[in-house]
């Protein structure tokens, strides 16, 4: 069962980090336009929909599979890098789900009201980038067994 949790964990991390970096680059390029046109708006809404339906559940799968894997170990005997991975990764995932999930509503509102959504789009891209960098940081700490 551990192998299945590990597979889910790594697959979810790949979806989370890869999608967020990719979408952040696309959104930043689109937001350079003075005003979002209909094509940009439709693309933003479809990216937001994929984030809400595909990526955020993948981050929850990472969190749940990580918890299920860490429960197999004696918590008092865990090395520091494993504790950091558990704590920083858990906080990063919970914040990602809450902040990105709630901020997605602002994206929808700004695009459907036909206002200039480039500012909100840049903020959304920054949030995606920060979340992905937190994931990479946790991955780096774990892979190099730092601390």
CA nearest to 37, candidates 135, 142, 140, 118: 118
**What is the C-alpha separation between 43 and 27, in angstroms, rounded?**
9
pLDDT, position 147: 57
112 pLDDT tier (thresholds 50, 70, 90) = low
Range with the poorest average pLDDT among 42-46, 57-61, 135-139: 42-46
Give the pTM: 0.82
**CA dihedral of residues 140, 142, 145, 147 (deg, nearest 10):** 80
CA nearest to 69, candidates 15, 140, 9: 9
In this predicted model, what pLDDT tens digit does every residue of 69-86 receive, in sequence order?
A: 988 888 788 888 888 888
Task: For the chain, give the mean pLDDT.
Answer: 86
pLDDT, position 117: 65
């Amino acid at each position: 069962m551990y192998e299945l949790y590990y597979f889910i964990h790594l697959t979810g991390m790949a979806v989370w980090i890869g999608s967020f970096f990719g979408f952040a680059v696309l959104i930043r390029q689109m937001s350079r336009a003075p005003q979002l046109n209909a094509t940009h708006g439709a693309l933003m809404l479809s990216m937001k929909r994929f984030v809400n339906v595909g990526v955020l559940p993948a981050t929850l799968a990472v969190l749940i599979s990580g918890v299920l894997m860490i429960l197999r170990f004696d918590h008092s005997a865990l090395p520091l890098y494993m504790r950091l991975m558990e704590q920083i990764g858990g906080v990063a995932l919970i914040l990602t789900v809450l902040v990105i999930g709630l901020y997605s509503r602002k994206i929808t509102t700004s695009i459907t009201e036909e206002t200039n959504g480039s500012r909100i789009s840049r903020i959304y891209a920054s949030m995606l980038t920060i979340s992905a960098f937190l994931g990479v940081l946790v991955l780096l700490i774990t892979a190099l067994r730092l601390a």
